[in-house]
Structure 1
Amino acid sequence: MTLLTLGINHKTAPISLRERVNFSPESLNHALNSLLKQPLVRGGVLLSTCNRTELYLSVEWRDSLYQQLIAWLCHYQRLSPNEVVTSLYWHHNNDAVSHLIRVASGLDSMVLGEPQILGQVKKAFAASQRVQPLPGELERLFQKAFSVAKRVRTETDIGASAVSVAFAACTLARQIFESLPELSVLLIGAGETIELVARHLSEHKIKRMVIANRTQERALSLASKVGAKAITLGQIEHCLADTDIVISSTASSLPIIGKSMVEYALKIRRNNQPMLFVDLSVPRDIEPEIAKLANAYLYSVDDLQAIIQHNLLQRKTAAIQAESIVQQESVNFMIWLQSQGAMETIRNYRIQAHQLRTDMTARALAAVERGENVEQVITQLAYKLTNRLLHMPTKSLQQAANEGDTARLQLLCESLGLDQQVE
């Protein structure tokens, strides 16, 4: 039995190839059934995200297996082997173990330490379990990966710092305001970045979230996902005074929020309450002069990039500690896996010995029933059983002695409980 990983990811292939290798959620069950029918494959998990497609397998290893799996992948995804072979990587046993743990821990992600991959690995594992029970070693491997990923998150700062502009904007808000759930947020735009911001903020139970967009239909679509209210860009001025945080990311060529608009909003706000403005757009959506106003805090995308770069350095430092945990836990898993192989060998040896005893006992009892001398039957049983049990150990001892293999001879003596010291 061999643990094997075969895959392609953002480090080895462009998105134009990754999207062709990708397995959609709708095709996953069919693909798994097809994969598990391949000769020598005992069980497997298929992980497919926008950044990677990987097969985690328990196999009976043959030199031809690698080409067999490539042929299956190319046939299933209608690709030529020449298109993918240089972008594929594969790992065996310990390397496969450490690779999965690194993936689950976010150490192999495009964004170092990102947490979403752990959920994706768990989904892939659950999907495989629904198709067919996994071999024990593969199930144990994934459970190990989940527990180590949790340990990495707990014992290191790999995920503590923001490394995306969306997450950095939310982190900035938490630093300025004591309690996010009591705040009102205005998001300008309805693209991918604003959607990520909206999802981050919704996790913090924001009291009121408003999404303003040039196209109201798009704003309504996003608002329905995060429990927000949708307005047009023309309505921003009327709700600005009731807003604590403004985060903007549009493709507008002109500023959407001007200094005079903010000055008026600040005048009618209670108790000089501050306002935070985060402008993620290039060109800028918010006039830079707003930063000169009292109680107005303005951050541009460049300001956030500085935060992100600092946080990336912190994550890289944490990753060194995380890699040490991964290496330690990978070794522990391989020790367990090897012990399972030894236990199987011992189990087979004991089964063989018990079968021999059963067969020879049956022959002895049959001889007694035929009227043969009981004492002679017992003596012959003991003699033959002893000879059969000693045959292979004796042969191995003689072979080691004839070959002058003292190390093997010493090991055999120790295994048989002999006190002899081999010179």
Structure 2
Amino acid sequence: MHTLTDLKMGRLAGITRLNLSDELEQFPREIFDLADSLEILDLTGNRLSALPDDLGRLHRLKVLFCSNNLFTHVPEGVGQCPALEVVGFKSNQIGQLSPNALPRRLRALILTDNCLTELPEALGDCADLQKIMLAGNRLQSLPASLARCQKLELMRIAANQLPALPEWLLKMPRLAWLAYAGNPLPAPFCAPEEPGDCPRIDWQHVRLAQVLGQGASGVIHQARWREQDEPVAVKLYKGQMTSDGSPLNEMAACIAAGDHPQLVRLAGRIDNHPEQLPALVMQLIDPSWFNLAGPPSLASCTRDTYREAQRLSLSSVTRLATAVASVGAHLHGHGIAHGDLYAHNILCDEHGDCLLGDFGAASFYPQDGSATAAALQRIEVLAFGVLLGELLSRCETQCEALQALQRDCVQPEVQLRPGFAEVCQRLS
């Protein structure tokens, strides 16, 4: 984190990234002194409500984050930045997005947790758009022009006011990661009634220990549960809006997913937390397990990051692909689209076993054999195909059968992709 004093004293000359959080109410004009080097500007956590109209003077700026401020609209100066690719205004009070605020090279637009009721048709002119994050707004429709954004790969539209999913959305050739839970969609798209076999666990029978990790949706503790000899994990949900949607939708999907060897085993839910926090008791994962990859970077946008030297044997790739396809088929059999099928959400051990986690982007769909259900399934198959391609690119041995399967999973015609049942059959 940098300081305003250092900026004003000229001590930051030549830097490429500026992180400035200092209760700012006005944009410091000294930032323009960095125009010949600055590529990433992070003004998250201030009290800003405006940016200069001549922001385009930052001619090398590629990334702009202004989350957790007081903006009521995206400033039009943003659209004047010639190199700007990533724009993030999460958790403001934004109710308006002007067409003039859209930079022409836009790749990622993050407007999570705002007050938007509509989006401009000009979004369809953003030909390079790959990722759009709109969870937690008040959108009642999406502009039909978005169908022209043929590079769009990741979309978060959960927790809005959408009464239906537009038909064009289900035909997008590269859309692989979609989250739409928490909208007033027809009943088959909503979380089912909670299964009766989900045990209720009394908070008095649980003793929390150290924090194992925390994210946007909640905090995970190691704990002891009176009914089990071994330690368990307890996830306390925060109930706040995340980039994927509502944590309560995540919790509903975890419960509805049921048992599968590649899912973290659910012991039950806690209803009587003293602060009324929703919580789940789950299997404790050995700390030796590791993520198959790292999450996307600013540069990769929608693609996971792997260690440069990471290599896999053909047997490891086949085993991983088979396991992921199996859990994908299981979830689809329960009417659940995971929405975030990524290597960074897959935990592995040294023996090649794996677990799929993070249901934050999960959504439900009707199990009625309709074209809509088939399209939603095959959007996720594209995500599997991307993952398989990443694994094959790191495989020590080439396999034509796996390569052919991968090509079929990523083909642009959504309905021509195989379902997970066929994928599992071909992998076997």
So what's the TM-score if we normalise by structure 2?
Answer: 0.27
So what's the TM-score if we normalise by structure 1?
Answer: 0.27
Q: Which has the higher helix share?
A: 1
